[in-house]
Amino acid sequence: MHDIAQVENHMLSRSAEDLYWMSRYVERAENAARTLDVSYRMSRLPSLAAQDELHWRPAIEIGPDTRYFDETYGEPSEANVIKYMALDPENPSSILSCIKGARENAHAERTAVTSEMWEALNATWLEIADLDAAKLERWGYRAFFDWIKERSHLFRGVTYGTLPRGDAFHFLRLGTFLERADNTARILDVKYHVLLPEGEEVGGVVDYYQWGALLRSVSAFRAYRAAYRDSIRPWKVAELLVLRADMPRSLRTCFDEVLHTLEALAGEVPRDCHRLAIEIHASLRFAQIERVVRTGLHEFLDDFISKNNALGLQVQRDFMMAAPVEQ
């Protein structure tokens, strides 16, 4: 009986890991498409044309490691960055790699996912499996980025609409919001500390189009207008994307969802990951943007990214079969 229980726990842990990373991969692919879409749009503005370093280098900086890109591609040109972030099979965070990974995880969990979820991922993979730079250019960059976002929305929609509210659903939701929080924090951090001109103080008034591009990258431009009704101010952008509970991609909203999901998974025995999530959630719930900006937005975001990564690793320790790895 003991051996049977061990095998069952092993299978449940393996399934939890597959589902968790399936949703992270889908969200990561969408985030890459959003980043590329905004960079491409900005590069087409007449006043900002012919500034590849300004448009494309930050797209690389958002990721956790730029060494592979620098060694393989060198110059952060439009063609190089799009190939790296969309099509490079050696880049584990490329759109191609993420969709492939999500599809493989779904295939391994055919009994845990619904047929609609499988069909959404499988059809997406079949559409891009043999995509190369020439085919992508013929497709049209913006059309491709929009399509990836739509496919991600479709997957989440059929997941929400067809999957029973059991552990499988909760692990999928957990992966989505941990990945989304990481991406929002990285985008905001890069905007403040890579794109700002040298010598310009954090919190000052900066170029309208650049900040508008940041808001569009997380579908928050209209939300900003509705909330603040004035010209774009960096500290208000930070407040919207970090602390506002009514903003779908804010850190606060992501951790409202993470905490709720972990409470559902933990049951009567809280785990270490649940305690860590409570700590992170409290730091967002009770923070004031004036104090965050004054003491250092970069330091706040850097600390958040570190703790969010630690939470992801602890989730793997608490629920999953393999030794935790950052993917």
What was the pLDDT predicted at 103? 98
Q: Dihedral of the CA atoms 7, 10, 11, 16 (nearest 10)?
A: 160
- Transcribe 53-92 into DSSP letters: HHHHHHHHHTSS--HHHHHHT-S--HHHHHIIIII-TTST
Determine the pLDDT at residue 199. Answer: 47
Q: Residue 4's pLDDT is what?
A: 36
H helices then E strands: how many in the chain? Answer: 16, 0
Q: Which of 300, 175, 188, 179 is nearest to 234 (CA)?
A: 188
- Block residue for tokens 């479709």: 154
- Given a contact cutoff of 8 angstroms between Cβ atoms, the answer to whether 317 and 324 are in contact is yes
Q: What string of pLDDT tens digits covers the 327 residues of the chain? A: 444 334 344 447 889 999 999 999 999 999 999 999 888 887 876 655 556 667 788 889 888 778 999 999 999 999 999 999 999 999 999 999 999 999 999 999 999 999 999 999 999 999 999 999 999 999 999 999 999 999 999 999 999 999 999 999 999 999 999 999 999 999 888 876 655 555 445 444 446 777 787 888 888 999 999 999 878 888 899 999 999 999 999 999 999 999 999 999 877 566 899 999 999 999 999 999 999 989 999 999 999 999 999 999 999 999 986 545 555
Buried b (16+ CB within 10 A) or exposed e, 63-84: beeeeebeeebeebebebbbbb
The pTM (predicted TM-score) of the whole model is: 0.90
At residue 24, what is the residue type? R
- Collect all residues with Cβ–Cβ distance below 8 Å to 10 and sequence separation of at least 6: 321
Give the pLDDT confidence score for residue 277 in this predicted structure.
96
Could you tell me how far CA 270 lies from the centroid of its own chain? 26
Question: What are the structure tokens assigned to 150, written together?
Answer: 């739509």
